[in-house]
Amino acid sequence: MRELSVRIEPLAVASRERFDQREATVTHRVLMRANDHVARGMALRAGGRRLAILSVHDPDESRRYLVCRCEEER
Q: Where are the domains of the chain?
A: 6-73
Cβ-based neighbours of 23, under 8 Å, separated by 6 or more? 15, 16, 17
Q: What is the pLDDT of residues 30-56, one digit of tens each?
A: 999 998 889 999 999 998 999 999 999
Helices (H) and strands (E) in the chain, counts: 0, 5
| pTM (global) more than 0.85 | no
Q: What is the pLDDT of residues 12-26, one digit of tens each?
A: 999 888 788 888 889
Alpha carbon distance 1, 68 (integer Å): 18
- Farthest CA pair distance, the chain: 47
